[in-house]
Amino acid sequence: MATSHRATSPAPPRPQSPGVGGVPLSSAIGDLLRFVLSSNAAATPADEPASFPLSPSYCARLLDDGGDLCGKLAAGIVQCLEEGRLPGPPVAVGIPVAEEGPEEREWEAVLLEKGAELKLMYNAVDFELHVQEPYFTQLRAEAKTVEGRLATGDYNRITQGSLLLFNKCLMLNVEAVRKYSSFSEMLQAETISNVLPGISSVEEGIAL
């Protein structure tokens, strides 16, 4: 994590400070679900996780419907975590409610167990940040290992060991914090490929 102080005048609009403290899991389920589905949709037979219950093609279909199916699935997961059980079908007058079968109970137990683990992880978040593409994908692929921010507000509170949540779905620990007087100084001091993968010169990086 690198921060810089700008001395030029007039100053550009100050960026928002990062979100501070734990993040409610319910507010992040949609982004987290899309993150997991897109990761598995891009998997190949060689690296497909055997434990993931949905095939890459099925994950892709969930994502390719304009977000409707993915949104409904996320809402169902949130409801399950809040109520402690799987959402049932709509109740119709005169029709008895079907009892849960062993498969439903197994899914319910998995959701509640993993949901509890995720709540603990999201509660432990120190700062919440947002990054645009292609930088998020580069962080996710570990191609980008240095993130620079203007040192204002709560950005100054980020320290070594802080747990950062990017785009509500990617958690990374801060290995070190280094401060620079300008963005160009940071690009000169850091390996530019770690800050801006694909950019070959400091001049090109400053022009972005």
Instruction: With cut-offs at 50, 70 and 90, classify the pLDDT of residue 12.
Output: very low
Q: What is the biggest distance separating any 2 CA atoms in the chain, rounded to whole angstroms?
A: 73
Residues with Cβ within 8 Å of residue 165, at least 6 apart in sequence: 19, 23, 28, 122, 125, 127, 128, 129, 171
| pLDDT over 90, % of the chain | 46
**pLDDT at residue 165, rounded to an integer:** 96
Neighbours of 208 (CB within 10 A): 7
User: Could you tell me if 109 and 142 lie in one domain?
Assistant: no
Distance CA 192, CA 208 (A): 13
* Domain assignment of residue 97, yes or no: no
Is pLDDT above 80 for 15?
A: no
Do 81 and 159 lie in one domain? The reply is no
**Model pLDDT, residue 195:** 93
Count up the domains in the chain and report the number.
2
In this structure, what DSSP letter does residue 144 have?
A: -
Number of neighbouring beta carbons within 10 Å of residue 87: 12
* Model confidence, pTM: 0.80
**Peptide bond connecting 134 to the previous residue in cis, omega within 30 degrees of 0:** yes
The confidence score (pLDDT) of residue 11 equals: 43
d(CA 146, CA 102): 47
Taking a C-beta distance cutoff of 8 angstroms, is the pair 139, 170 a contact? yes
| Residue 164 belongs to domain spanning | 2-7+126-207
Q: Report cis status (omega within 30 of 0) of the bond before 10.
A: yes
Rounded to an integer, the average pLDDT of 102-122 is: 88
Contact 81, 27 (CB under 8 A): no
pLDDT value, residue 14: 43
Query: Do 53 and 40 share a domain, yes or no?
Result: yes
Q: Does 119 share its domain with 136?
A: no
Both 136 and 110 in a single domain?
no
Q: How far is CA 34 from CA 71, 83, 89, 121, 144, in A?
A: 9, 22, 24, 18, 21
In a domain, 16, yes or no: no
* 68 and 157 belong to one structural domain: no
In a domain, 15, yes or no: no
Determine the pLDDT at residue 7. 44
What's the whole-number mean pLDDT along residues 92-107? Answer: 64
Residue 189 lies in a domain: yes
Cα angle 18-9-5, degrees, rounded to a multiple of 5:
40
* Same domain as 119, residue 154: no
118 and 29 part of one domain: yes
Which is higher by pLDDT, 93 or 60? 60
The residues, any chain, with a CB within 8 Å of residue 139's CB and separated by 6 or more, are 131, 147, 166, 170, 172
Cα 157 to chain centroid, rounded: 21
Identify the band that residue 68 occupies on the pLDDT scale cut at 50, 70 and 90. Answer: confident
